[in-house]
């Protein structure tokens, strides 16, 4: 079907009514085709889609949003000190949204606030969000998930363990991945291994600590409380925590830090003390952020597939709206893997 032109040679701005008239169907039917409603027979759908292609008709996003009762906005809700993780999540979500009508809206919140639920509810309703991706630790709040469901807002929760059904979740295998990392240290001859744990109240910190303890228990290695230092997923807390470990009369020969920022803090503190890495101290982090390749020696770390998880989370939200079929549903679980670099070496024999 050839496009009609105005007297000045320009294509006229077609409306949904024009498409309905050309297809011999109602405006509501065209709307259902545009919004990918299943309530149509294939012959009608094909006819309307052919006319849309031939005419170059572009649906009005405001009108579509009004029909759906939602804007084409995906919210990212977080309260997490790990800024690189948040940036990686944004990258994955934006990759999924590229070429679609959807845009990303960022919303930091305070998980300690008494008004957390009201704050998020206001954000969702005010922006008329199509859906939200919720990052840990607030993704671990079941009350929040129930509230989003009651508001009719699609959601996907990210976590270091399974938190929900596959439709509403992307999760990684932190416990198993950390256990593998510590087994690697043990295989290098290390027995006195320190842990810089993540913040209290974070499921990721709990899962990673349990993986650490599991590997030591398998090898019959005891874990004195003195070899555990608390961190907050920040560089500064990594420095502070490692200082307490270095002050021990028998300091660790290896340290697992629960994220790369803290692992970089360990490396920095070791340099200040004149401790050679990896000759006198092996270090492993978690995340595999760009930072790991910008320090010396490059950090051995557990690669957390945040970008892929962000992409999958977004596609879980918008899949039906962009024509994704159920048989190509996005995965819900992702494997973290150990990346071996220069910060780990076999334990030197006395």
- Backbone φ and ψ for 108, nearest 5 degrees, come out as -75, 145
| Per-residue model confidence (pLDDT) at position 7 | 47
Q: State the pTM of this model.
A: 0.77
Q: Which CATH number describes the domain made up of 174-304?
A: 3.40.50.2300
Beta strands in 59-102 (DSSP E): 73-78
CATH 3.40.50.2300 occupies which residues in the chain? 68-173+306-334, 174-304
Distance from the first to the final alpha carbon of the chain: 84
Element holding 197 (H helix, E strand): strand 193-197
* The CATH number fitting domain 68-173+306-334, selected from 3.40.50.2300, 3.40.50.1820, 2.60.120.620, 2.60.40.10: 3.40.50.2300
Query: Within 13 Å, how many C-alpha atoms sit on residue 153's CB side?
Result: 30
Give span(s): CATH 1.10.260.40, the chain. 1-50
pLDDT tens track of the chain, all 350 residues?
A: 444 444 444 456 777 788 888 888 887 787 677 666 656 788 888 888 888 888 877 766 555 554 555 688 999 999 977 788 899 999 999 999 988 889 999 999 998 899 999 999 999 999 899 999 999 999 999 999 999 999 999 999 999 988 899 999 999 999 999 999 999 999 999 999 999 999 998 999 999 999 999 999 999 999 999 999 999 999 999 999 999 999 999 999 999 999 999 999 999 999 999 999 999 999 999 999 999 999 999 999 999 999 999 999 999 998 866 554 443 467 889 999 999 999 999 998 76
CB neighbour list of residue 230: distance below 8 Å, 6 or more residues apart:
196, 197, 199, 200, 237, 241
d(CA 123, CA 106): 10
Residue among 227, 298, 293, 240 at smallest CA distance from 269 = 240
pLDDT of 50: 87
- Domain covering 1-50, topology: 434 Repressor (Amino-terminal Domain) (1.10.260)
| Gap between the Cα atoms of 104 and 106, Å rounded | 7
Burial letters 1-18, b for 16+ CB under 10 A, else e: eeeeeeeeeeeeebebeb
Rounded CA separation 19/6 (Å): 17
Q: Look at residue 316 in the predicted model and tell me its pLDDT.
A: 93
- 319 close to 329: Cβ distance less than 8 angstroms: yes
For residues 341 and 343, what is the distance between their CA atoms, to the nearest angstrom? 6
pLDDT number for residue 45: 83
Which pLDDT score, from 0 to 100, does residue 46 have? 86
C-alpha distances (whole Å) from 147 to each of 118, 132, 143 are 10, 12, 6
The pLDDT tens digits for 194-211 are 999 999 989 999 999 999
């Amino acid at each position: 079907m050839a496009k009609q032109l105005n007297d000045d040679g320009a294509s006229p701005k077609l409306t949904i009514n024009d498409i309905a008239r050309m297809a011999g169907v109602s405006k509501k039917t065209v709307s259902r085709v545009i919004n990918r409603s299943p309530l149509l027979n294939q012959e009608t759908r094909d006819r309307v889609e052919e006319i849309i292609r031939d005419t170059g008709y572009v649906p009005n996003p405001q009108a579509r949003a009004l029909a759906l009762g939602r804007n084409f906005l995906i919210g990212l809700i977080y309260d997490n000190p790990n800024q690189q993780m948040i940036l990686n999540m944004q990258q994955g979500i934006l990759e999924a949204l590229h070429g679609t009508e959807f845009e990303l809206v960022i919303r930091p919140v305070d998980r300690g606030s008494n008004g957390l639920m009201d704050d998020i509810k206001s954000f969702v309703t005010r922006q008329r969000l199509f859906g939200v991706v919720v990052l840990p630790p607030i993704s671990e709040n079941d009350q929040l998930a129930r509230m989003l469901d009651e508001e009719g807002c699609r959601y996907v929760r990210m976590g270091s363990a399974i938190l929900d059904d596959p439709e509403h979740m992307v999760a990684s295998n932190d416990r198993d991945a950390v256990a593998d990392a510590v087994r690697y240290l043990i295989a290098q001859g290390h027995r006195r291994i320190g842990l810089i744990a993540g913040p209290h109240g974070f499921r990721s910190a709990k899962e990673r600590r349990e993986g650490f303890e599991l590997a030591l228990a398998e090898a019959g290695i005891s874990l004195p409380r003195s070899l555990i230092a608390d961190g907050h997923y920040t560089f500064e807390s990594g420095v502070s925590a490692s200082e307490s470990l270095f002050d021990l009369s028998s300091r660790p020969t290896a340290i697992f830090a629960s994220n790369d920022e803290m692992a970089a803090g360990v490396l920095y503190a070791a340099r200040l003390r004149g401790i050679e890495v990896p000759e006198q101290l092996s270090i492993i982090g978690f995340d595999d952020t760009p930072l790991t390749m910008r320090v010396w020696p490059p950090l051995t770390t557990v690669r957390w597939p945040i970008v892929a998880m962000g992409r999958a989370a977004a596609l879980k939200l918008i899949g039906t709206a962009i024509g994704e079929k159920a048989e190509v549903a996005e995965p819900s679980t992702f494997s973290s893997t150990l990346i071996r670099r220069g910060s780990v070496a076999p334990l030197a024999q006395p």
